[in-house]
Homo-oligomer: A and B are copies of this chain.
Amino acid sequence: MRKSQSQTASKKQPLTPNKNKIKKPKKDILNEEPKPDLKNKASRWTLPRQIVFNFLKHSSSHLSAKEIYNALHRSYPGIGLATIYRTLELLFQLGLIRKISSGDGQSRYELKDQNLAGHHHHLICLGCGRIIDYQDFAEEELQLVKKTEKVLAKKHNFLIKDHNIEFFGLCEKCRLK
Contact = CB atoms under 8 A, between A and B. Distances in A.
A156 interface: yes
Contacts of A149: 167
A101 interface: yes
Nearest to A129: B1
How big is the A interface, by class?
35 or more
A134 B106 CA distance: 27
B144 A137 contact: yes
A168 B160 contact: yes
Given A1-B105, A2-B105, A103-B99, A125 B158 contact: yes
B134 A140 contact: no
Interface in A150-177: 151-153, 155-172, 175
A72 interface: no
Interface residue SS majority, chain A: mixed
A44 to B, nearest CB: 22
A85 to B, nearest CB: 12
A177 to B, nearest CB: 12
Interface in A94-117: 99, 101, 103-106
Given A165-B163, A165-B165, A171 B156 contact: yes
Given A144-B140, A149-B167, A165-B163, A158 B123 contact: yes
The 8 A-B pairs with the shortest beta carbon distances in the complex, nearest first, are: A160-B169, A1-B104, A157-B172, A101-B101, A159-B170, A162-B168, A158-B169, A163-B167
Interface of A: 1-2, 99, 101, 103-106, 123, 125-126, 129, 132, 134, 136-137, 140-141, 144, 147-149, 151-153, 155-172, 175
